[in-house]
Structure 1
């Protein structure tokens, strides 16, 4: 998508643009989420949550029996309390893991990538606003990966600083699941050549 005006963009994009900055390309993640990491997260989340719920159910049974029942298990009351309290964070983590694919999907929908004549912007407008800005002079390499489903990713390498040995530490910014990955690559290469 090549545009020179920002009339079709959200307020999040408009407020981040500098005076006179021209948008060369803009897009957002549109493709499906990668299935392999998603399947792993869900399988692990189901196992974790099931195990932690089993623990918590047993611990609450001991708690109930020790405090309100006949204490058939002869569990000391303090042990029953510790077991019930100890299991609760694990259940909370399990629920968080089960919700993580939904959270990742919402975060993707709230992400916009913008290539201007001066820099690359990655704007995440979810739970506040997070803006990552990469100036043209910071772009060293642009790599595109096309997938069979027609979507693609574009990854840029940029220099950030040097380590204690004087070696260059390089950071990467990834534009994921783009319908027009080739257009993003073209705009980023033009931006890198400009510097």
Structure 2
């Protein structure tokens, strides 16, 4: 079996590298380190970007309509009503820039597999979230693979509710990685080893 390519921990950004080094115990053996593909992650923002195009166009049209499609006449005073639409324009700009943020987030995210567990270091708005998964939590893997061998290794799906109370689902695992099948083999080897140790 050809082993998947692993990153050198020194190739990670400094903040991420220090976080990984502090998280892994001294007697813990690193088996694989990877990061999500920035290009693949930016592609995942396409639906949000497309929705942002429609949203922003409507918001700009509303602001222009509220201003009666005229530039403000400072001699007659300023009408503040069109300004109520500006927050929606800002939200639209945020959605339009989502591919950039997804790409930047990928560069600040790391996936680590050791002889004891899988660890996710995922960049979020407020910092880097660290999640650790023991072998018993890695027994029901799902692989989604692209033609080039890259893809997602999904540990489980996190189900929650949004602000409107609607159900939301987010996938948790090694996402947008190269050689996803090779990484799955490594994870399953760790799971098998611990299962054998537990039954011995």
TM bin (shorter chain): 0.7 to 0.9
Deviations 1:108-163 (A, max 9, x none): 1211111111111111256532111112222231222221123121112399xxxx
Secondary structure at 2:97 match in 1: helix
Gaps of 5+ in 2: 159-169, 196-200
Displacement of 1:27 after TM fit? 1.1
Give the aligned partner of residue 142 of structure 2: 143
Separation (CA, whole Å) in 2 of partners of 1:92 and 1:46: 12
What does 1:164-183 align with in structure 2 at a 5 Å threshold?
A: 173-183=172-182
Tell me which of 15, 24, 27 is aligned to 2:22.
15
Give the aligned partner of residue 74 of structure 1: none
What does 1:103-122 align with in structure 2 at a 5 Å threshold?
A: 103-122=101-120
Paired positions, count: 173
Give the aligned partner of residue 53 of structure 1: 60
Structure having the higher Rg: 1
User: Does structure 1 retain, via aligned residues, the 8 Å contact 2:45–2:102?
Assistant: no
Give the aligned partner of residue 24 of structure 1: 31
Separation (CA, whole Å) in 2 of partners of 1:41 and 1:8: 30
Separation (CA, whole Å) in 2 of partners of 1:63 and 1:55: 14
Give the aligned partner of residue 162 of structure 1: none
TM-score (norm 1): 0.73
User: Does structure 1 retain, via aligned residues, the 8 Å contact 2:38–2:107?
Assistant: no
CA gap 1:33/1:21 in 2 versus in 1, 3 angstroms? same
Secondary structure at 2:51 match in 1: helix
Tell me which of 94, 98, 101 is aligned to 1:100.
98
Displacement of 1:59 after TM fit? 3.0
